[in-house]
Amino acid sequence: MAATNSLSSRLQWRGVLCLLLLGVLGGGSHYLLGLRDIEQRLAQLHTLVEQRFVGVLAQSVWDLDQHNTQQLLESINQLDGVNRVELITNLGQRQSSQLHPTAHSEWIRDFPVQSERSGNQPLASLRLHLGQQELLQQLRLRSLLFAASLMAAMLLMLLLCRHFMQRHLLRPLEQLVGQLHKEQPLPLADGERELSLLGKQLQRYRQGWQQQLQQQQQRGNELQKQREQLSELASQRTTELDQLTRSQQLLAKLSHSFLRLPPAEQRDAIADALARIGHLLGVDRCYLLLLDERQALQQHISWQNAQLPPDGGFYLQAPLQHSPWMLPQLRQQAQLTISRLEEIPPDGHGERLLLAEHGIRGLVLIALDHAAPLHGIFGCEVVNRQHDWLDKELTLLRLFAELLSGLLLRHQQLQLHEALTQQLAAANAKLQAQSHCDGLTGLASVSRLQQDKQPLFEQAFLRQQALSALMLDIDQFAAYNSHAGHLAGDDCLLRIAQLLQAQLATHPGLAVRIKGATMLLLLPQHDAAQAAAVAEQLRQAVAALQLPHPASRVSSFVSVSVGCATLDLRRHDDIDDLIGEAAHALRQAKAQGRNRCVSAAVAT
């Protein structure tokens, strides 16, 4: 047990030294902190007195309340560091409080006592006698008590530690050393021998532990690598999921917007969509090629990365219609994917050189239809870098190509619909024009008369202008048809219609074929005399044609009878009354022997 006692005594002496040192340090620290606290309290005393007591003290002095004033002075005297308090009024009266008569004062501070009622003139002066001797004595006593209590606590702890070490450390240590040497413990003069032997044994154990730690560290590194791989895989899957989500949103948005856009705005929309696809997939160029029936480039819409030089791409220079390998592959597989130029077979040697010349390292081309002559190609390119096309990227490109294919089909349908609409409108216009025009003579039809007669009447009525109607009929035209034939009759009608149209060149109006050989001429701004003159000119012009009419009992040539009527609002309620009066005048001309002009005024 000598070794144990030796080691225990050393620990005891060292514990006593630590105990003394801890007591000195604890008491000194407590004393220094107390000094600092005293200085702070004395420094803050001035502010404390001004804030808490000066205002109330001024009120008591003003009110001449001696009792309250004395209580306030005693309250101030109770502050730490205040040995004596004096209140000196302007009249020289003194009132003081001294709770510690034996205390020695080191500083004296004066405070002016004034209130709002006295203005800037102070009522009295508050004098404080300050000193820290008593505070220092109290501080020393507290520091000694603190050091003593700390040392007592540490002594108790040291005794407990000594008992614990004797029972749980030194004796088991002696037994452990004996067990390590396979012999009974021997009393030793030096207490460090057991520790040395134990240290050597522990060194062997430590080496074994280090080997185990290295093995565990290797396994931990492997686990860390696996965790990093799993984290990278999870990050990659998260990125792919985010890209897939954005791809679905982009396709849905493009599909919805394309259906609502008019054809004139679809090119800009496709260019914007190509840019979105390019940014989403991180490629350098996207384009849409439209081919004609000879497989030549007809139109292209493209987008490329702003960092690339302004190169339109190989497809603007490549003779697609003479492609020995690319177009046949597209026709056969509907999709061509190139991740490396070395994948191109010898059949596409020229195209491989062309791609390398433009710096293209990766390429995807998708046919927009499966017809023998391709009508459109959608493509993406990667320039000056390698890129392995992923299945999700190819799927997205195929979906976008299908969207473009549907858009082009819709565009073609819209163009066809627009062309058919234009053709239908032209046919309707032609049909409408034909319905308003007599097919044989070129004069206006009865439907045109029904459309235009009321505006002519309203214009004459509102503007108080003249309006005349001339009803013309070819004399004995049925006999002319029977004798000369219908072709000659049609020619006769056409030549007389030309005379009416010639009259419209100098006398604006409306010439209408009513039926058979009866024609109507409406002449705005023509009174009765002017209308009669035009009727006579027409009759003479027909006679001047000298069309033989052997079957006529009126003349040996074709002649006409004309009835004239001029608008009179007293007798004509509408234009139909005017036309009816012209027809009545025509019947009068026929009754009078034909080949003449009769005006309604004369007839009546």
Residue 529 has, within 13 A of its CA and on its CB side, a CA count of 0
pLDDT by residue (tens digit) across 562-582?
Answer: 999 999 888 888 889 999 999
Q: Cβ of 356: how many Cβ atoms within 10 Å?
A: 13
Q: Cβ of 559: how many Cβ atoms within 10 Å?
A: 20
Cβ–Cβ under 8 Å, residues 194 and 10: no
Q: What pLDDT score does 591 carry?
A: 93
**Rounded Cα distance, 192 and 173, in Å:** 12
Calculate Rg over the CA atoms of the chain: 62
Positions in the chain short of pLDDT 70: 1-10, 100, 102-106, 116-120, 132, 168-199, 201, 236-237, 239-261, 263-264, 311-322, 370-372, 411-412, 429-436, 601-604
The DSSP bridge partners found for residue 560 are 474
Angle at 156 between CA 155 and CA 159, to 5 degrees: 85
Give the C-alpha distances (Å, rounded to integers) separating 563 from 251, 502, 528, 556, 560: 76, 19, 11, 22, 10
Give the C-alpha distances (Å, rounded to integers) separating 380 from 126, 224, 359, 401, 549: 94, 39, 14, 11, 84
Cβ–Cβ under 8 Å, residues 288 and 270: yes
Q: What pLDDT score does 318 carry?
A: 58
* C-beta contacts of 167-172 below 8 A and 24+ residues apart: 170/4, 170/7, 170/8, 171/4
Q: What pLDDT score does 506 carry?
A: 85
SS3 letters across 235-302:
HHHHHHHHHHHHHHHHHHHHHHHHHHCCHHHHHHHHHHHHHHHHHHHCCCEEEEEEECCCCCEEEEEE
Q: What pLDDT score does 4 carry?
A: 44
* C-beta contacts of 144-152 below 8 A and 24+ residues apart: 144/27, 146/26, 146/27, 146/30, 147/23, 147/24, 147/26, 147/27, 147/30, 148/23, 150/22, 150/23, 150/26, 150/27, 151/19, 151/20, 151/22, 151/23
Token pair of 305, please? 């990365």
Q: What pLDDT score does 184 carry?
A: 44
**Rounded Cα distance, 143 and 27, in Å:** 5
Burial of 321 (0-12, 13-18, 19+ CB in 10 A): middle
Burial of 58 (0-12, 13-18, 19+ CB in 10 A): buried
Token pair of 45, please? 């005393």
Give the C-alpha distances (Å, rounded to integers) separating 251 from 99, 108, 276, 394, 456: 92, 89, 10, 14, 61
Cβ–Cβ under 8 Å, residues 121 and 62: no
Task: Say how many residues make up the chain.
Answer: 604
Q: What pLDDT score does 280 carry?
A: 82
